């Protein structure tokens, strides 16, 4: 079973070198609550400097390509990400699935490539508002998970993040009962994919988590942490989420 909460900040397309001081402040907060695993995924331009400046603090990437090398202009392989110092990668985020038209098969290939490069993996799944209103949320999310699930997945390197697309950056949060239902469904899908080992895979909630609602969300069964967007950009906003996680 999961014993430690995992709080991951996804900076998305935010952050210049001036914002490295924000990571310094977040790292200090994380150091105060060592019972919680904390990571920041800044833009790739900041990864190497962040790793150099803050040794021991987990820095991740927001994506990687599935190929080791080749004619893929503008893309970065998992080996490149790892060489820059990243320890993990967020893959299949809803914004990439929508904006870059990433498929489940691509996310699976990326996850396998990331693992082969020595990176931890966070696979994102989530439904649109239309899919939820149609009563298809569980079907869609579990289908994404099954299609994106990497071969040989192990609790040592796999994390799943549930992010209802309609709640990302909107301030809207699903009802606790809906989050509980979905995380339970994801846990069951993981059991079907990897047996009882699934109990050790952390399932994060992503979608407008903040200092005000983190305690309630993190108290829900099978919510093992958070994938946090806008609220992860500063210690002032991210710190209370880390503190809330430390209470469990």
Residues annotated as catalytic are 93, 163
State how far the Cα of 30 lies from the Cα of 156, in Å rounded to an integer. 21
From first CA to last CA, the distance across the chain in angstroms is 14
DSSP strand E in 34-87: where?
37-41, 58-61
DSSP strand E in the chain: where?
6-10, 37-41, 58-61, 88-91, 120-125, 158-162, 202-205, 225-228
State how far the Cα of 203 lies from the Cα of 211, in Å rounded to an integer. 19
Give residue limits of the domains in the chain: 6-246
- Exposed, middle or buried by CB within 10 Å (0-12, 13-18, 19+), for 19? middle
User: What does the pLDDT profile of the chain (248 residues) look like in tens digits?
Assistant: 788 999 999 999 999 999 999 999 999 999 999 999 999 999 999 999 999 999 999 999 999 999 999 999 999 999 999 999 999 999 999 999 999 999 999 999 999 999 999 999 999 999 999 999 999 999 999 999 999 999 999 999 999 999 999 888 788 878 999 999 999 999 999 999 999 999 999 999 998 899 999 999 999 999 999 999 999 999 999 999 999 999 99
State how far the Cα of 148 lies from the Cα of 158, in Å rounded to an integer. 12
Assign domain 6-246 to its CATH superfamily.
Aldolase class I (3.20.20.70)
State how far the Cα of 50 lies from the Cα of 238, in Å rounded to an integer. 17
Contact (Cβ atoms closer than 8 angstroms) between residue 207 and residue 174: yes
State how far the Cα of 205 lies from the Cα of 40, in Å rounded to an integer. 16
Number of H helices, E strands in the chain: 10, 8
Which alpha helices (H) appear in 149-209, and where do they start and end?
176-194
What values do phi and psi take at 241, rounded to 5? -70, -45
């Amino acid at each position: 079973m999961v014993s430690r909460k995992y709080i991951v900040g996804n900076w998305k397309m935010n952050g210049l070198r001036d914002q490295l001081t924000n990571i310094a402040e977040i790292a200090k907060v994380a150091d105060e609550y060592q019972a919680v695993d904390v990571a920041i995924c800044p833009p790739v331009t900041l990864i190497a400097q962040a790793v150099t400046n803050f040794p021991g603090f987990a820095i991740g990437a927001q994506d990687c390509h599935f190929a080791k090398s080749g004619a893929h202009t503008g893309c970065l392989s998992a080996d490149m990400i790892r060489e820059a110092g990243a320890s993990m990668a967020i893959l299949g985020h809803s914004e990439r699935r929508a904006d870059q038209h990433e498929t489940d098969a691509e996310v699976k290939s990326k996850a396998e490539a990331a693992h082969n490069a020595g990176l931890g993996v966070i696979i994102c799944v989530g439904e649109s508002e239309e899919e939820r209103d149609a009563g298809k949320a569980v079907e869609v999310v579990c289908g994404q998970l099954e299609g994106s699930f990497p071969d040989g997945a192990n609790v040592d390197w796999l994390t799943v993040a549930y992010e209802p697309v309609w709640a990302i950056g909107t301030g809207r949060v699903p009802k606790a009962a809906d989050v509980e239902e979905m995380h339970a469904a994801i846990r069951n899908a993981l059991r079907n994919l990897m047996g009882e080992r699934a109990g050790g895979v952390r399932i994060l909630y992503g979608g407008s988590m903040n200092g005000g609602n983190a305690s309630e969300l993190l108290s829900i069964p099978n919510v093992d942490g958070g994938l946090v967007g806008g609220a992860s950009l500063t210690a002032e906003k991210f710190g209370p989420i880390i503190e809330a996680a430390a209470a469990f």
